[in-house]
């Protein structure tokens, strides 16, 4: 284990060690199946149990009301950017909060499908904050209202969700699902790709209210149609079995090892505070991107005084077993992604390195 680093990647990202160990133990022969999850039929009893248990775990963790369906889909979060307007627009319009790179991308995808408006766009302020109540006006006739709960690249997170009234609120929670308790009944759709806080890449979880599933136009191809995918219990074709299995293990870990999302949230706040305090007390050596009140507890982007120092920081960090600290290629600087599975020791090691680096440079 000596060569395992503290991995601050934005996704695919660090997974809980007990999950990896269990997957390792069960890799050659899943209990009762006599073969690996990698080798078993998705129609087998073992896999049916795995996917059913994954769903039960998600229902428990997020307290998902009975009138919501849970789908495990392929195509990543990006496919949802297209599927949402394809399934929900039905000739109407939709409102988008453009708060960072991912909501901007979702907005662009939705525009290929119909008439969409940006109700608030943070580009002018370089996506350093979310809108405040009163800074936007929502259309009460819109098919849905779209938001990204945590902008992975800019590190801007909604602290409370906007009130869309009777219009279904659609939320991309790819980079902060399971980081804190949420009230799913506020949303029409709450979706997340797995590869940050829920498992490996390959599976995307879509939690969708019954009445919205019913809206899918019959003209849509099967694999793009929520109604068909729901009726087929997420197995219209072969699902990403191994990714679903790991998601099941990650949700087991959250329930039984961590003790639920309130406990996870408390740990996440503690971890994020250590890094933000380090940034804030560095006399300007490190500068955070987001305004304080909208800071993300999952992704911490920051800059150093020069590009030269940034490169030196990332390189030297590597030799301290602290990896993947470069910012997204579109914005530069540095970013520490500190998802649920990042242990406190990893954060403390990064803090110590940051203090030492600032002192020396």
| Nearer CB in complex with ligand PMP: 55/172 | 172
| Cβ atoms of residues 40 and 51 within 8 Å | no
Residue 84 is a binding residue for ligand PMP (CB under 6 A): no
Residue 86 host element (H or E): helix 76-88
Of 190, 183, 144, the C-alpha closest to 164 is 144
In the bound complex, what is the minimum distance in angstroms from residue 121's beta carbon to ligand PMP?
17
Q: Which stretch binds ligand PMP (CB under 6 A): 57-65, 167-175, 227-235, 300-308?
A: 167-175
Among residues 50, 51, 54, 77, the one that binds ligand PMP under rule CB under 6 A? 77
Residue window 169-198: x/- pattern of binding to ligand PMP, with contact defined by CB under 6 A: ---x-xx-----------------x-----
Residues that bind ligand PMP (rule: CB under 6 A) add up to a total of 11
| Nearer CB in complex with ligand PMP: 304/341 | 341
Spell out a b/e string for 89-104, using b for 16 or more CB atoms within 10 Å of the CB, else e. beeebbbbbbbbbbbb
| CA–CA distance, 328 with 340 (Å, rounded to integer) | 20
| Cβ atoms of residues 323 and 335 within 8 Å | no
In the bound complex, what is the minimum distance in angstroms from residue 101's beta carbon to ligand PMP?
8
| Nearer CB in complex with ligand PMP: 174/278 | 174
Q: Which stretch binds ligand PMP (CB under 6 A): 73-81, 183-191, 211-219, 255-263?
A: 73-81
Residue 78 is a binding residue for ligand PMP (CB under 6 A): yes
Of 12, 19, 55, the C-alpha closest to 258 is 19
Q: Which two tokens stand for residue 353?
A: 């390195």
Among residues 6, 7, 11, 162, the one that binds ligand PMP under rule CB under 6 A? 11
Of 88, 323, 327, the C-alpha closest to 209 is 88
**Residue 292 CB contacts under 8 Å (≥ 6 apart), including other chains:** 276
* Distances 99 to 239, 300, 302 between C-alpha atoms, Å: 32, 16, 18
In the bound complex, what is the minimum distance in angstroms from residue 171's beta carbon to ligand PMP?
10
Q: Which stretch binds ligand PMP (CB under 6 A): 71-79, 83-91, 157-165, 248-256?
A: 71-79
In the bound complex, what is the minimum distance in angstroms from residue 174's beta carbon to ligand PMP?
4
Query: Environment class of residue 170 by beta-carbon count within 10 Å: exposed (0-12), middle (13-18) or buried (19+)?
Result: buried
| Nearer CB in complex with ligand PMP: 40/85 | 85
Residue window 216-255: x/- pattern of binding to ligand PMP, with contact defined by CB under 6 A: ----------------------------------------
Q: Which two tokens stand for residue 112?
A: 């290929």
| Nearer CB in complex with ligand PMP: 234/282 | 234
Contact set for ligand PMP, span 101-130 (CB under 6 A): 102
| Nearer CB in complex with ligand PMP: 175/310 | 175
Query: Catalytic positions, please?
Result: 102, 172, 196
| Cβ atoms of residues 99 and 130 within 8 Å | yes
Dihedral angle computed from the Cα positions of residues 337, 338, 340 and 342, in that order, rounded to the nearest 10 degrees:
110
Q: Which two tokens stand for residue 201?
A: 């890449």
| Nearer CB in complex with ligand PMP: 152/216 | 152
| Cβ atoms of residues 192 and 173 within 8 Å | yes
In the bound complex, what is the minimum distance in angstroms from residue 325's beta carbon to ligand PMP?
16
Contact set for ligand PMP, span 127-166 (CB under 6 A): 148, 152
Taking each helix axis as running N to C, give the angle between helix 241-252 and helix 45-62, from 0 to 180 degrees, rounded to the nearest 10.
40
Among residues 12, 18, 76, 260, the one that binds ligand PMP under rule CB under 6 A? 76
In the bound complex, what is the minimum distance in angstroms from residue 352's beta carbon to ligand PMP?
28
| CA–CA distance, 284 with 93 (Å, rounded to integer) | 44
> Which residues make up the interface to ligand PMP (CB under 6 A)?
11, 76-78, 102, 148, 152, 172, 174-175, 193
């Amino acid at each position: 284990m000596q060569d395992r680093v503290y991995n601050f990647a934005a996704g695919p990202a660090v997974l809980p060690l007990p999950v990896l160990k269990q997957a390792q133990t069960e890799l050659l022969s899943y209990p009762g199946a006599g073969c690996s999850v990698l080798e078993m039929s998705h129609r087998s009893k073992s896999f049916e149990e795995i996917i059913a248990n994954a769903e039960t775990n998600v229902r428990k963790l997020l307290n998902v009301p009975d009138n919501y369906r849970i789908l495990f889909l392929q195509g990543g979060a990006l496919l949802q950017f297209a599927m949402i307007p394809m399934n929900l627009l039905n000739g109407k319009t939709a409102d988008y909060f453009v708060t960072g790179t991912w909501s901007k991308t979702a907005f662009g995808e939705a525009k290929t499908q119909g008439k969409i408006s940006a109700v608030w766009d943070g580009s002018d302020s370089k996506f350093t904050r979310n809108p405040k109540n009163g800074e936007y006006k929502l259309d009460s006739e819109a098919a849905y209202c779209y938001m990204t709960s945590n902008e992975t690249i800019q590190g801007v997170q909604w602290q409370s969700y906007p009130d869309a009234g009777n219009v279904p609120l659609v939320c991309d929670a790819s980079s902060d699902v399971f980081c804190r308790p949420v009230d799913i009944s506020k949303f029409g759709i709450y979706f997340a790709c797995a590869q940050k806080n829920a498992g490996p890449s390959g599976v995307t979880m879509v939690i969708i209210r019954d009445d919205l599933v019913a809206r899918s136009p019959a003209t849509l191809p099967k694999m793009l149609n929520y109604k068909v995918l729901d009726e087929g219990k997420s197995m219209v074709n072969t699902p990403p079995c191994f990714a679903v299995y790991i998601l099941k293990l990650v949700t087991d870990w959250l329930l039984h090892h961590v003790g639920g999302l309130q406990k996870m949230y408390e740990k996440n706040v503690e971890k994020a505070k250590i890094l933000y305090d380090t940034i804030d007390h560095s006399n300007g050596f490190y500068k955070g991107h987001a305004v304080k009140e909208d800071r993300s507890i999952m992704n911490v982007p920051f800059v150093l005084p020069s590009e030269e120092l940034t490169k030196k920081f990332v390189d030297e960090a590597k030799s301290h077993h602290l990896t993947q600290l470069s910012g997204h290629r579109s914005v530069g600087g540095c970013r520490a992604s500190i998802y649920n599975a990042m242990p406190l020791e990893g954060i403390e090691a990064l803090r110590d390195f940051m203090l030492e680096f600032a002192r020396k440079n």
